[in-house]
Amino acid sequence: MKKTFRILTGAAIALLLSGCAGRPAITDIKSFHFSYQVGNYMNGSVSYELKLQDDGSYLATVKPNQVAEEQADRYVVDKAFADELAAFLREHKVQRWNGFQKSNKHVLDGNGFSFSLWTTEGKNISASGYMRWPRGYDEVKAGIEAIFAKLGK
């Protein structure tokens, strides 16, 4: 009986630790990057970035398709914007994307994405793919676009 209890306890602890180690919590954002390709041509990508500045504000960058990086729109935003983004990412369990790095080797002319988030606590979540996407990708992409779209209005 004691041996069974020890085995079950050890297995439960191992499961908890392995789940926590691969999935950092999404808390206060220090930096955020999400980009995806829309075509294999010059400036054929879209990207969204958010970076914490020394004064506590954030610099948000939006690079639309067919726009050079140097011409991307930049906005100074407050912590409320970063908190909205973090809450959305938590709600859609994006921490589960951590470590996703998959590609479809049978596609030679496709599209990909890149995701990276650093928290103020030093935790990182990153994912990337080429013609392969993590669960919930379309909803998360649409949500990120909607949050950043508010900046241009």
Going from N- to C-terminal start, the domains of the chain cover: 25-152
Q: What is the pLDDT of residue 73?
A: 97
What is the biggest distance separating any 2 CA atoms in the chain, rounded to whole angstroms?
Answer: 68
CA angle 141, 145, 150 (to 5 degrees): 155
Pick the closest to residue 61 from 120, 29, 51 (CA basis).
51
The pTM of this model reads 0.83
What's the rounded mean pLDDT across residues 91-101?
Answer: 97
Identity of the amino acid at 13: I
Give the Å distances, CA to CA, from 30 to 18, 27, 148: 25, 9, 17
Mean of pLDDT values over 32-52: 95
Whole-number average pLDDT of the chain: 88
Q: Fold for domain 25-152? A: Mago nashi protein (3.30.1560)
Find the range with the poorest average confidence among 11-25, 33-47, 71-85, 130-144: 11-25
